[in-house]
Amino acid sequence: EIQVPLVQIRHLGQGELVVVLFEQLDRIELEMDKAFRVKKLAATSQDLVVVFSNVPYGEYAVGVFHDLNKNGKLDANFFGFPKEDMAVSNNAKGGPFGGPLWQQAKIQLAQSAMVLSTLKLYPFGPKTTE
């Protein structure tokens, strides 16, 4: 299994968190149709743990985004920058040509269970008043 700790979730009670597990890709674009597995859950707490069970040993990458409008995709602005909070395994960052490269985001599942490094959702989306 792969445990994915998520922290500093904003916009509690709005939309849903989409956590995506990928097998080998060139770039991590957070598109669900390219996913190995997907989990969706309500944003009920600032800190949550998502568990992917029965995952075969191998290389994976994990991405998460806060789908505020529940349209099933990571919304982006005209320049391609995310409008919704998101994160990728290893805190990998994308660039001007798309999401993070596989080599930056991949993790190795080599035992029956692993806990991924904590993913902080980056606040690209709308600001909240706190």
Residue tagged 């992917």 (tokens): 52
pLDDT of 32:
83
Burial class of 130 by CB neighbour count within 10 A (0 to 12, 13 to 18, 19+): exposed
Would you say residue 127 lies in a domain? Answer: no
pTM, two decimals, is 0.88
Whether 91 maps to a domain, the answer reads yes
Residues of the chain with pLDDT under 50: 125-130
What was the pLDDT predicted at 80? 79
Look at residue 128 and tell me if it is in a domain: no
How confident is the model over 1-12, as pLDDT tens digits? 999 999 989 999
The structural domain count of the chain equals 1
Q: What pLDDT does 130 receive?
A: 37
47 within domain boundaries: yes
Whether 79 and 56 have beta carbons less than 8 Å apart is answered as no
Which pair of structure tokens corresponds to residue 130? 């706190």
Q: pLDDT of 72-91, one tens digit each?
A: 999 988 887 888 999 999 98
Q: What is the 3-state secondary structure (H, E, C) of the chain?
A: CEEEEEECCCCCCCCEEEEEEECCCCECCCCHHHCCEEEEECCCCCCEEEEECCCCCEEEEEEEEEECCCCCCCCECCCCCECCCEEEHHHCCCECCECCEHHHHCEEECCCCEECCCEECECCCCCCCC
Q: Which domain holds residue 23?
A: 2-120
